Amino acid sequence: MFRSNSYARTGTILLVTGVLVSAIAYFVLSLTWLTALGISMLILSFVLLSLSRTIPRLPPEVCSLLLQTGMDNMATIIEELGIKGKAVYLPSSLAGGRPQALIPLHSNPTLPHITRALPERFIVRYGGRPDDVGLLLSTVGSAAFRLLETRPGPTSHSLEAALTTLLAGTLGVAGKIRVASRENHLTVEVHDPWLEDHVGWHHECLGGPIASIVASVAAEAWDKPIVIKQETKANGNCTIELEVAGENLQ
Amino acid sequence: MKIYNSYILSLTVVLPLTAVILTAVGLRALNYFFPIFVLEAISITELFVYLNNKARQRLTFVSALLFGAFLVYLTVKVAAILSKVL
């Protein structure tokens, strides 16, 4: 009846125990407090059995393998091409219907000025200069953004709510999220992140998986290209500094 | 699954603790326990707004079920009182 996971097993045990305890306590022992404990067990069992049906079919280990394979392939491409520039996270309006990361082949100190949607190709030309060529890639953030029901608005409060829903609620890879904006910079604090992150060359370019998700969601919220300026980890928290193309955010 | 665990932990602590406190203050009728349990379960569920959509749908169903049981209980009690009065 129920998929076998720890929630389903615990829920079933609590359901049986709750029925037995409350029935015996009420009809045989006439103990109100024990009946109440039996009822609380029943409520907990309903909750556990309901939640057991919402757990993903794939075990976390398989998901981790798939993520790692994708990241490794991306790292290989970036390292083999010797790309040192930072990826620009584009909103769906500029990247063919879904947020994607543009990796300029030639590093540029300023954010590229992209005004029209780029073609859905692996190698794209994004500007008028001969050097304005880059790779357009889907990242973890591209896929994660689809899990959001609504597109967040261009405010730090709205972004904070969207990231909390996504990272803490849906994906369960972080505790709480705090977002602060200053001029054209966003500072996102991710408390208790636990997604595995292998630091390498590609990490400098694309950022970690959580930073990638944060940048993709922020790019969609402001509908502007975004770059991960810095990603630091301290005291079990991760602080991500983003730069948004254009002028002030407020 | 962190948020699931926090939610379940909150319920696991609050519900039995309520039973202990109500018993300790001398409220020994089952009439007090069930409505408070239902209210607490619904309130805690509402506090966890960041649960994913699928989980929220399922928990809304559980909340509706509990509220329905509470209404049935209330109806039975009101009927008993009315039958005594009339």
The reply to whether residue A50 touches residue B37, judged by beta carbons under 8 angstroms, is: no
What pLDDT shows up at residue A3?
53
Supply the mean pLDDT for chain A.
Answer: 85
Task: Using alpha carbons, list the distances in angstroms from residue A123 to A119, A142, A198.
Answer: 9, 17, 26
Domain-embedded: residue A128: no
Residues of chain A with pLDDT > 90, as a percent, come to 27
Residue A212: name the closest of A190, A245, A235 by CA.
Answer: A190
Sorting pLDDT into bands at 50, 70 and 90, what band is A79? confident
For the stretch A200-211, pLDDT in tens is: 767 778 888 899
CATH of the domain at A215: 3.30.70
Domain-embedded: residue A240: yes
Domain-embedded: residue A229: yes
User: How far is it, in rounded angstroms, from Cα A73 to Cα B27?
Assistant: 64
Domain-embedded: residue A174: yes
Of B1, B34, B58, the CB nearest to A172: B1
Phi, psi of A161 (to 5 degrees): -65, -45
For the stretch A4-50, pLDDT in tens is: 688 899 999 999 999 999 999 989 988 888 999 999 999 999 999 99
A95's CB contacts (< 8 A; 6+ apart) are A102, A117, A118, A120, A136
Domain-embedded: residue A102: no
For the stretch A167-214, pLDDT in tens is: 888 888 888 899 998 888 899 999 988 776 666 767 778 888 899 999
Of B52, B58, B65, the CB nearest to A170: B52
Among A94-98, A210-214, B72-76, name the one with the lowest average pLDDT.
A94-98
What pLDDT shows up at residue A21?
94
Residue B18: name the closest of B3, B10, B75, B74 by CA.
Answer: B10
β-strands A133-137, A177-182: how paired? unpaired
| DSSP string for residues in A89-154 | EEPGGGTTTS-EEEEESS--SS-----SPPPSSSEEE-SSSTT-EEEEE--HHHHHHTT-SSPPPS
What pLDDT shows up at residue A250?
59
Q: Given phi > 0 = left and psi -120 to 50 = alpha, else beta, which region is A188?
A: beta
Sorting pLDDT into bands at 50, 70 and 90, what band is A1? very low
What pLDDT shows up at residue A199?
66
What pLDDT shows up at residue B73?
86
Q: Which residues of A touch B62 (CB under 8 A)?
A: 46-47, 50
What pLDDT shows up at residue A17?
95
Q: Which residues of B touch A35 (CB under 8 A)?
A: 30, 33
Q: A52, A72, A89 — which closes off a domain?
A: A52
> pTM of the entire structure?
0.74
Q: From start to end of chain A, where are the E strands?
A: 88-90, 100-104, 123-125, 133-137, 177-182, 185-191, 226-234, 237-244
CB atoms near residue A228 (< 10 Å):
26
User: How far is it, in rounded angstroms, from Cα A156 to Cα A184?
Assistant: 12
Interface contacts A/B by beta carbons within 8 Å: 91
User: How far is it, in rounded angstroms, from Cα A39 to Cα B68?
Assistant: 15
Residue corresponding to tokens 């649960």: B51
Residue range A66-74: average pLDDT? 84
Of A43, A50, A170, the CB nearest to B58: A50
Sorting pLDDT into bands at 50, 70 and 90, what band is A128? confident
Domain-embedded: residue A227: yes
User: How far is it, in rounded angstroms, from Cα B1 to Cα B55?
Assistant: 11
* End-to-end CA gap in chain B: 54
Domain-embedded: residue A106: no
Domain-embedded: residue A61: no
Please report the ipTM that was assigned to this predicted complex: 0.89
What pLDDT shows up at residue A95?
83
Domain that holds residue A227: 140-244
Q: What's the total number of domains in chain A?
A: 2
Domain ranges of chain B: 2-85
